[in-house]
Amino acid sequence: MSENLSAFLYLVASICFIMALRGLSSPDTARGGNIYGIAGMVIAVLTTLFIPQVISPWLIFLGILIGGAIGSYIAWQIQMTALPQLVAAFHSLVGLAAVCVASAAFVAPEAYGIGLRGALSGTSLAEMALGLTIGAITFTGSVVAFAKLQGLVPGRPLVFPFQHPLNAALGLLMIALIILLVLTESTAVFALLVLLSLAFGFLLIVPIGGADMPVVISMLNSYSGWAACGIGFTLSNSLLIITGALVGSSGAILSYIMCRGMNRSIFNVILGGFGTAGGAAPTGPGGADRLVKSGSAEDAAFIMKNASSVIIVPGYGMAVAQAQHALREMADVLKKHGVKVSYAIHPVAGRMPGHMNVLLAEAAVSYDEVFELDEINRDFASTDVAFVIGANDVTNPAAKTDPTSPIYGMPILDVERAKTVLFVKRSMASGYAGVDNELFYRDNTMMLFGDAKKMCEDIFKALE
Amino acid sequence: MADPASLALRAGELAGDAGTLARNLEALSQQLAVAAQQAAHAGTPFVYQLTVFVLAVFVGYYVVWRVTPALHSPLMSVTNAVSSVIIVGAMIAAGPADISFAKLMGFVAVTLAAVNIFGGFIVTQRMLQMFHRKK
């Protein structure tokens, strides 16, 4: 296959990938978009099979067979609640693949037509080092994120002394090594750079945890794109550059949206340690000895049955309890009783962007009943019942009223404006930010203590 | 309402404008052709790649802002799948006839990327299949 033809086909594949992202602007066009994505990938792989450098394709077939079988199996088995850790694991693979390709390009650059071993241009080496470094950071960073989300290590941020000076020193050392690599093309420097980048990725993500996970995942998503981009520069392949840039900017935008949802800067998140140092002690007068009104499933059923409208606010707790199906059944009965039911989703609800939307979709909730913060926040004032299930910080009015609160300035769902607020919660424990929620003590709030799934089932029974 | 005479006058002016525009465009395209020829001689591969990169970042920026927040999870899994296009680089490494360190690295990378490609697209498809509107 001539170089021009393969370049043209790579262009077609790039366009397919752009169309795949374009399709996601609405659920109606999204499935078509995914087909574009698959088509683009097939074109890219087939084209590469027929370029002159690929002489013996057998190992490639074997790799695709093994990888494809594993990937398909995992993807069909995975529970939708485990989506965040799956995506984290997948990111780590892209990072590792980038490291492998960069290494291959370093030891055998002639296969890529970028020069000869020992006589590589500075530009090539710099590009290689960039792809390698970002890939390695993506790999270990994603492994840590996976371990946290899967519960293999504690999800809370792990802080240790001299964290920031250590990271800064490591970062500077890596830059020095990249310069050294460009000057000397030494294999030892290359290997050292790999090790340091791996360590850096680990240290970068360890201090971030809990409700910051959506930002972490988006950030790693972005890194995996830039890694592909770096490899694209190394190999002078515009398909990789274009795709990497698309993915990189997509992850960056998602990180920005998540940070905005928490009213925090990206630097604040990266520095980590949120929720452990500053706001650890529950604030607010009284603390534990204030009175809360708690109710039973029957009480909740009675209140909601007699309401004319209910807004459900799901949070991470719903995902943990796998309560989405029970919740939808409860909502169905309410609708039968003539109650208008809608769902309000905070941008950072759950552990990855859009997590709650997928879980509700899985439970067959129609997507036109599900609203984003901006779309629904006005409606709380005219709503009879706000049913908060597994969410806490995103409803805390302290974000609007208390400038000393760690969550001050975060956009919240105005559930307190509803006539009655029902809180499904396991205990009185404060949310991730470590802030007491004064909503619990209000007269129009009723706490429903218990497991989210069991509570929905009990309310369902009481409604029947 | 305008009378036919002034209407005809306006149409005439419009045609004149269009003519000017066409001439300008022609001149511009000639200039571009000359510039492109110069660029082909003067530009290094890196500058060309940088151009592609910057344009792609812009395309990504505008396309992704149009993605509805409800589909942010599928966005993440599909971008994850497409970023495995790195398999292209891996295949070239795994392509030579003789076994070498580079070829083995290429094989590992092909396998990893394939996990991602299949896994990413299937999981995206599964998610998107669930988004329904009530009939």
Give the number of A-B residue pairs with CB atoms closer than 8 Å.
381
Between CA A161 and CA A168, with CA A167 as vertex, the angle to 5 degrees is 115
Cβ of B72 and A254 within 8 Å?
Answer: yes
pLDDT at A50: 93
Confidence (pTM)? 0.85
Q: Residue A312: pLDDT above 50?
A: yes
Query: What is the structure's pLDDT at A272?
Result: 67
Distance between CA atoms of A63 and A77, rounded to whole angstroms?
Answer: 21
Q: How far apart are CA A83 and CA B77, in angstroms?
A: 9
What pLDDT does A133 receive? 96
Contacts of B56 (CB under 8 A, 6+ apart): A14, A241, A242, A243, A244, A245, A246
A273: contact with B, CB 8 A cutoff: no
pLDDT tens track for A423-434 = 998 877 777 666
Q: Which residues contact A156 (CB under 8 A, 6 or more apart)?
A: A209, A210, A275, A276
Considering Cα of A25, then A27, then A28, then A32, what sign does the dihedral take?
positive
pLDDT of residue B26: 76
> Which tokens in the block code for residue A447?
């706490």
Question: Which string of DSSP letters, residue by residue, matches A92-139?
Answer: HHHHHHHHHHHHHHHH-GGGGTS--TT---HHHHHHHHHHHHHHHHHH
Q: How far is CA A352 from the centre of its chain?
A: 3
Angle in degrees, CA A340, A344, A350, rounded to 5: 140
**Amino acid type, A273:** G
Q: Which two tokens stand for residue A425?
A: 């919660």
Q: Report the 3 state secondary structure along A38-92.
A: HHHHHHHHHHHHCCCCCCCCHHHHHHHHHHHHHHHHHHHHCCHHHHHHHHHHHHH
What pLDDT, on a 0 to 100 scale, did the predictor assign at position A156? 74
Q: Which of residues 62-91 of B touch A (CB under 8 A)?
A: 63-91
Q: What pLDDT is attached to residue A289?
A: 60
Q: What are phi and psi of A311, to 5 degrees?
A: -110, 125
What is the identity of the amino acid at B85? V
Q: Residues B120, B124, B126, B132: what is their CA dihedral angle, to the nearest 10 degrees?
A: 180
Interface contact flag, B73 A353, Cβ < 8 Å: yes
Mean pLDDT value across chain A: 89
Give the H or E element holding residue A309.
Answer: strand A309-314
Chain A residues closer than 8 Å to B51 by CB: none
Q: What are the pLDDT digits (tens) for A42-96? A: 999 999 999 988 998 999 999 999 999 999 999 999 998 899 999 999 999 999 9
Q: Which of B63, B97, B123 sits opposite A86 (nearest CB)?
A: B123
Query: Which residues of chain A from 236 to 255 reach within 8 Å of chain B, CB to CB?
Result: 236-251, 253-254
Question: Is residue A86 within 8 Å of A78, Cβ to Cβ?
Answer: yes
Laid out side by side, the sheet with A309-314 consists of: A370-372, A340-345, A309-314, A385-389, A420-425, A445-449
Judge: B59–A238 Cβ closer than 8 Å, yes or no.
no
Q: What letter represents residue A53's amino acid?
A: Q
Q: Which residue has the tokens 């984290």?
A: A88
How far is Cα B72 from Cα A252, in angstroms, rounded to an integer?
13
CA distance B43 to chain A (A): 14
C-alpha to C-alpha distances, B66 to A23, A25, A250, A342, B120, nearest whole angstrom: 10, 5, 11, 24, 21
CA distance A22 to B79: 12
Closest CB to A240: pick one of B85, B94, B133: B85
- Nearest Cα to A229, choosing from A208, A262, A252? A252
Q: Are A178 and A129 spatial neighbours (Cβ–Cβ below 8 Å)?
A: yes
pLDDT digits (tens, 9 = 90+) for A320-364: 899 999 999 999 999 999 999 999 999 988 888 999 999 999 999
Give the closest residue to A145 by CA, choosing from A277, A272, A279. A272
- For A409, residues 6+ apart whose C-beta sits below 8 A from its C-beta are A263, A399
- Poorest-confidence range of A153-157, A376-380, B34-38, B98-102? B34-38
Instruction: Map residue A314 onto helix, strand or coil.
Output: strand
State how far the alpha carbon of A191 is from the alpha carbons of A102, A136, A173, B107, B127, in Å: 11, 12, 14, 20, 40
Residue pair B81/B120 in contact by the 8 Å Cβ criterion: yes
User: Which residues on neighbouring strands pair with residue A286, listed in sequence order?
Assistant: none
Which residues of B are less than 8 Å from A371 in CB distance? none
Residue A136, Cα to own-chain centre: how many angstroms? 19
List, as one string, the DSSP characters of A372-420: EHHHHGGGGGG-SEEEEES--GGG-THHHH-TTSTTTT-----GGGSSE
* Structure tokens that stand for A337 in this block: 């009783």
Chain A (72-91) residues lying within 8 Å, Cβ to Cβ, of chain B: 72, 74-76, 78, 80, 83, 86-87, 90-91
Residues 190-229, chain A: which have Cβ within 8 Å of B? Answer: 217-218, 221, 224-225, 227-229
Contact: A101, B82; criterion CB under 8 Å: no
The region, left, alpha or beta by phi > 0 then psi within -120 to 50, assigned to residue A55 is alpha
Could you tell me the pLDDT band of residue A286, with boundaries at 50, 70 and 90?
very low
Structure tokens at A372: 């984003």
**Residue B51 touches chain A, beta carbons under 8 Å:** no
Question: Which candidate, A322, A292, A336, A259, places its Cα nearest to that of A456?
Answer: A322
Interface predicted TM-score of the whole assembly (ipTM), two decimals: 0.89
- Looking at the complex, does the CB of residue B47 fall below 8 Å from at least one CB of chain A? no
Say yes or no to pLDDT of A288 above 70.
no
The mean pLDDT of A290-295, rounded to a whole number, is 83
Structure tokens at A305: 């049955």
pLDDT tens column, B38-67: 444 444 688 899 999 999 999 999 999 999
In contact, A279 and A165? CB cutoff 8 Å: no
Give the Cα separation of B38 and B51 in Å (integer): 16
Q: Is the pLDDT of residue A370 over 60?
A: yes
Among B78, B86, B106, residue whose Cα is nearest residue A45: B86
